[in-house]
Amino acid sequence: MMFTEKEQVLIDRLKKAEVFVPSDWELEIDYLYDPGEDLKGGAGWYAMRYKNGIGAIALTEYSNKPIITDEEAECLGIDVEKCLDKYGCYYVGR
- DSSP assignment string, 27-92: EEEEEESS-TTT-TT-SEEEEEEEETTTEEEE-GGGSSS-SB-HHHHHHHT--HHHHHHHHT-EEE
Model confidence pLDDT, tens digit, residues 51-88:
999 999 999 998 788 999 888 999 999 999 999 999 99
Would you state the pLDDT for residue 8?
Answer: 95
Beta-carbon contacts of residue 51 (< 8 Å; ≥ 6 apart)? 24, 25, 26
The amino acid at 80? V
Global pTM value: 0.86
* 84, HSE (Cβ side, Cα atoms, 13 Å): 20
